[in-house]
Amino acid sequence: MKKVINNAEQVVEEMLQGLVLAHPQYVKRVEGFDVLVRANSPVQGKVGLVSGGGSGHEPSHGGYVGRGMLDGAVAGAVFTSPTPDQVYEAVKAVDGGKGVLLVIKNYTGDIMNFEMAAEMADADGVKVAKVVVNDDVAVENSTWTTGRRGIAGTVFVHKIAGAKAEQGADLAEVQKTAEKVIANVRSMGMALSPCTVPAAGKPSFTLAENEVEIGMGIHGEPGTHRESIRTADETAAHLLNKILGDIALNAGDEVAVMVNGLGGTPLMELYVVNRKVAALLAEKNIKIAKTYVGNYMTSLEMAGFSITVLKLDSELKELLFAPADTPALVQF
Amino acid sequence: MANGIAAMEALADVIIANKEKLTELDAAIGDADHGINMTRGFEAVRTKLAAAKPEDIGGLLKLVGMTLISTVGGASGPLYGTAFMRAAVVAHGKTAIDTDTAAQILNAAIGGIKDRGKAVRGEKTMLDALEPAYEAFTQAMAKGASLTDCLTLATAAAASGVEYTKTIIATKGRASYLGERSIGHQDPGATSSYLMLATLTAFAKEQEA
């Protein structure tokens, strides 16, 4: 597998160095840790937002550190949750006296590591709250699962809870807003081709030439089923219908849409998907208040995409449209 | 204490030697990183052991646990890290392992994994290797078996537990997203637990010989 890397063991370290060199006005490194925080951290009198997870999902999460979104991002090894000591350092570095909200994607490892970090911070007297994002409708919640996975909808949590914190809300209020986003956001993805974890050196699964995986997770973990590739319109309709089957939307409701590339899909194809998503929502008289098309939550070089729909109310809409100034998302 | 350090080095060796096997097992039902993460952790353990002078087995196990927590990541880091930390508590002040201490260590480690992972047996996890192992160990102990005999029976039970994981649906961890498709594959966490137990058993036998 060809990759533009120097050494598989150094990928995360070298990426973080490059990111800080590219965006010194936004982020700085917490010395000795795989943690990026705002250049002006800690922001006094503001609730801090910390997210993170395995690397390989860039620009998540380091790309969203900046005004209006995150205060800190913790980078684990590729597709591997960061360790508790790393998360704990991020919490300490961003705490401006009003407490810290941890935004966790729903994976067993992430939850355990972030919980251990929260226990450490608690022992230090830092107020910590947490929310768990579980927007992926591909895998139904049942007794057979540990719940749904957290995928691209997490970016909406960063955006909206980040804006809430920027307004000066307290920790409980920011947590409540984040939970409202989580309750109203749904996503589903699919993959055309696998990705290769640098340290593994080979793909974690294979797909036949004409085959796609529907419901693919963002770590190459299998989805609901495999099928022969269909048109962009048919695939987009399938994913969107699964999403709409899971959240109550009525004619006249307003939503935000994200068509997210998994890393190896041209923007051209993402726009083709977005065309169909917009048309299907228009048919149902659902109003799209804002659309994001691009690579927001990737899976290394995997080809494929996910669709995210966030149902808006007046609070969520206002916060979604609030300014953000980060390496990967700038809004005025 | 040289024995204890050598035993932990043997654990590191077996995990590192099985890096690819564990990763392949994980690729089939998870996210293909178990061997990679465990190897990173145990390489750090080996480095720490080279410099460490723990005074008792508790201190040794704590060193291993802390190192795994801060280097492994994923789910295995907190789970194995917590297991070793809990085992360290019952081994505090001990400089040798007898049958009773070994049983307490195993029991404490299992308790740590259950608490941290909020898991029970039968969910296709490391507990499916470790709990049968503990039962076999304590049954043998009740009959007055030696430490190595208890360990040998525990290891055999863990091996059966690993085989059992092939027949059940995963309900914890990323493999759970596969539902019925996880049937037929053995659990990588149960496998690494078995490997560690088998290694400690072989080590104890060498000491006895």
Edge to edge, the sheet with strand A254-261 lists A225-228, A211-214, A185-193, A303-312, A254-261, A287-294
Q: Which helix (H) or strand (E) holds B79?
A: helix B76-90
- Quick check: B69 and A83 CB within 8 A? yes
Query: Residue A140: which pLDDT band, with cuts at 50, 70 and 90?
Result: low
B178 contacts A109? CB cut-off 8 A: no
What sign results for the dihedral spanned by CA atoms A235, A236, A241, A243? Answer: positive
The contacts of residue B7 (CB under 8 Å, 6+ apart) are B200, B203
| Cβ A270 vs Cβ A33: under 8 Å | no
Q: What number is the ipTM of this complex? A: 0.73
Tell me which amino acid residue B5 is: I
The single residue listed with the structure tokens 């796609």 is A212
CATH number at residue B32: 1.25.40.340
- Look at residue A125 and tell me whether its pLDDT is greater than 60: yes
Q: Average model confidence (pLDDT) for chain A?
A: 95
Please give the pLDDT value at position A143. Answer: 35
Whose tokens are 């005004």? That residue is A67
* Token reading at A2: 């060809």
Work out the minimum CA distance from B117 to partner chain A, whole angstroms.
7
Active site includes A219?
Answer: yes
B170 to chain A, closest Cα gap in Å: 7
Least CB–CB distance from A146: residue in B69, B70, B176: B176
| Rounded Cα distance, A135 and A125, in Å | 31
Contact B73 A144 (CB under 8 A): no
In tens, the pLDDT along A306-321 reads 999 999 999 999 999 9
pLDDT digits (tens, 9 = 90+) for A218-240: 988 878 899 999 999 999 999 99
Q: Which domain holds residue B117?
A: 2-208
Instruction: Decide: helix, strand or coil at residue A216.
Output: coil
| pLDDT tens digits along B101-120 | 999 999 999 999 999 998 89
**Do B33 and A79 make contact, defined as CB atoms within 8 angstroms?**
yes
Amino acid at A31: E
Please, are residues B137 and B151 in contact by the beta-carbon 8 Å criterion?
Answer: yes
Residue with the bigger pLDDT between B176 and B35: it is B35
Q: Which of A35, A89, A112, A302 to mutate to test the interface with B (most CBs of B within 10 A)?
A: A112
- Domains of chain A, earliest start first: 11-184 (3.40.50.10440), 185-321 (3.30.1180.20)
Locate A155 and state its tokens. 């970016």
Q: Can you tell me the distance from the alpha carbon of B68 to that of B61, in angstroms, rounded to the nearest whole number?
A: 11
| Residue labelled with tokens 């080809």 | A303
Rounded Cα–Cα distance for residues A104 and A101 (Å)? 9
Average pLDDT for B25-43: 89
Structural domain tally of chain B?
Answer: 1
Examine the pLDDT at B183 and tell me if it is beyond 70.
yes
Which residues pair with residue A105 across a beta bridge? A133
pLDDT tens, position by position, A55-97: 999 999 999 999 999 999 999 999 989 999 999 999 999 999 9
Which residues in chain B are closer than 8 Å to A109, comparing Cβ atoms? 73-78
Distance CA A239, CA A191 (A): 12
